[in-house]
């Protein structure tokens, strides 16, 4: 049965309205897609410098989007937040310090934040550094507050698994941190830094101790570490380290005093002004190896792997003495007479 005229007119108007709306909706959808695509292009051309962004813990994804937009890293906080929500990343962004380039696309930036790829600070701890020098280096890199670091070092609750015979007290970390190049994220705790460097030291020392030369005059890995620290401070010439260690091992076996300047200098601490004098050598103290037999009570620096290996694999030698030639190398002697001639030649000329 045909529809009444009035109903046919109503249906016609509805169809006409829909026909008219379709192009409008298509234009709207196209405009929206174009805008969305535009917002997901990088905010800057390739090569734009990275911008530092600090995201505090607990910051919402919406606030992170606003922060990134305010720094010019993304174009639209709304589009970025919608993307995070669509990908299920809005609750997975990690706090921390980042360096983000506006040349990155929003998906790349979102992936960086979700993965927690925070900015890393490169810090090199050279062989032979003391704990004080390490603290200064870390403070210079902006990773620590020195006062806070010293408190952490004095009270670090380490399980000294392999170095359990180390002495208690605030000096127990001298020599216990491995010299290496480290990468730390901003905000890393002092204890995390100490634990990481100490764990690496224990790893290397345990491995080298296991394969050590037989018959060495060390009662423990800790004593080997003390010897390695002395070797580290005595020479920077790689091929001399085993020979230096060989001289000191010979002296220990013969119950001779080590008579090494670096231990005395370490014992002087802040009182050392760069010149080691006779009165220093004649003043008794736990680190004065001119007056006290055997090894000093603790390491005097952070020995590297080469020094540790030299202490545990000393070169076979009959030498008991050595003196600096003034060019970084040393002259080695088996007798005191030979040594005195070398001193006259290289030190008294």
> What's the domain count of the chain?
3
Q: Could you give the residue ranges of the DSSP H alpha helices within the chain?
A: 5-39, 61-70, 77-87, 106-115, 131-140, 146-154, 190-210, 221-234, 241-253, 261-268, 278-281, 305-312, 336-346
Q: Given pLDDT bands bounded at 50, 70 and 90, which one contains residue 331?
A: very high
Asked whether 175 and 205 are in contact (CB, 8 A), the reply is no
Please tell me the distance from the alpha carbon of residue 113 to that of residue 61, in angstroms, as a whole number. Answer: 10
- The predicted model gives 334-343 an average pLDDT of 92
Q: Do 147 and 125 meet the contact criterion of CB atoms below 8 Å apart?
A: no
Tell me, yes or no, whether 65 and 181 share the same domain: no
> pLDDT tens for residues 142-201?
888 888 888 777 776 655 555 545 444 444 678 889 999 998 887 788 888 888 998 899
pTM for the full predicted model: 0.75
Residue 78 sits in a domain of what CATH number? 3.30.1490.480
pLDDT digits (tens, 9 = 90+) for 290-329: 999 999 999 999 999 999 999 999 999 999 999 999 888 9
Under a CB-based contact definition with an 8 Å cutoff, are residues 226 and 299 in contact? yes
In terms of average pLDDT, the best of 29-33, 41-45, 230-234, 275-279 is 230-234
Contact call for residues 269 and 248 (beta carbons, < 8 A): no
pLDDT of 168: 46
Half-sphere exposure in the Cβ direction for 64 (13 Å, CA):
31
Helix 241-253 crosses helix 305-312 at what angle (to 10 degrees)? Answer: 40
Average pLDDT, the chain: 84
Q: Is the pLDDT of residue 338 over 50?
A: yes
Q: What is the pLDDT of residue 230?
A: 96
pLDDT (0 to 100) of residue 243: 97
**Inside any domain, residue 88:** yes
Query: Which residue range(s) make up the domain with 169?
Result: 121-208
* 217 and 183 share one domain: no
Domain assignment present for 142: yes
Rounded mean pLDDT of 6-22? 54
- In a shared domain, residues 288 and 335: yes
Q: Examine residue 81 and state whether it is found in any structural domain, yes or no.
A: yes
Tell me the DSSP string of 38-69: HHTS-SS-TTPPPEEEEE-TT--HHHHHHHHH
């Amino acid at each position: 049965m045909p529809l009444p005229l009035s109903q046919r007119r109503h249906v016609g108007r509805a169809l006409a309205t829909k026909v008219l709306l379709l192009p409008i909706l298509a234009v709207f959808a196209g405009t929206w897609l174009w805008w969305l695509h535009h917002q997901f292009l990088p905010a800057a051309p390739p090569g734009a410098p990275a911008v530092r962004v600090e995201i505090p813990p607990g910051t919402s994804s919406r606030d992170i989007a606003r922060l990134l937009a305010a720094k010019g890293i993304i174009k639209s906080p709304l589009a970025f937040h919608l993307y995070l929500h669509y990908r299920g990343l809005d609750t997975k962004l990690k706090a921390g310090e980042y360096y983000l380039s506006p040349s990155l696309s929003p998906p790349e930036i979102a992936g960086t934040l979700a993965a927690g790829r925070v900015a890393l600070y490169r810090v090199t701890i050279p062989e032979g550094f003391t704990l004080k020098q390490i603290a200064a280096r870390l403070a210079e890199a902006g990773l620590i507050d020195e006062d806070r670091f010293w408190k952490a070092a004095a009270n670090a609750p380490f399980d000294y698994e392999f170095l359990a015979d180390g002495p208690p007290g605030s000096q127990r970390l001298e020599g216990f941190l491995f010299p290496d190049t480290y990468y730390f994220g901003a905000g890393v705790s002092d204890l995390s830094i100490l634990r990481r460097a100490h764990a690496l030291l224990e790893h290397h020392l345990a491995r080298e101790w296991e394969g050590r030369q037989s018959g060495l005059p060390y009662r423990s890995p800790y004593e080997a570490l003390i010897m390695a620290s002395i070797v580290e401070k005595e020479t920077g010439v790689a091929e001399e380290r085993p020979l230096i260690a060989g001289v000191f091992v010979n002296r220990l076996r013969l119950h001779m005093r080590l008579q090494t300047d670096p231990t005395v200098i370490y014992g002087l601490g802040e009182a050392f002004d760069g010149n080691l004098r006779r009165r220093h050598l004649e003043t008794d103290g736990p680190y004065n190896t001119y007056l006290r037999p055997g090894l000093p009570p603790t390491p005097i620096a952070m020995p590297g792997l080469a020094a540790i290996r030299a202490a545990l694999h000393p070169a076979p030698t009959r030498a008991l003495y050595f003196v600096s030639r003034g060019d970084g190398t040393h002259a080695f002697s088996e007798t005191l007479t030979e040594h005195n001639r070398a001193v006259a030649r290289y030190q008294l000329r």
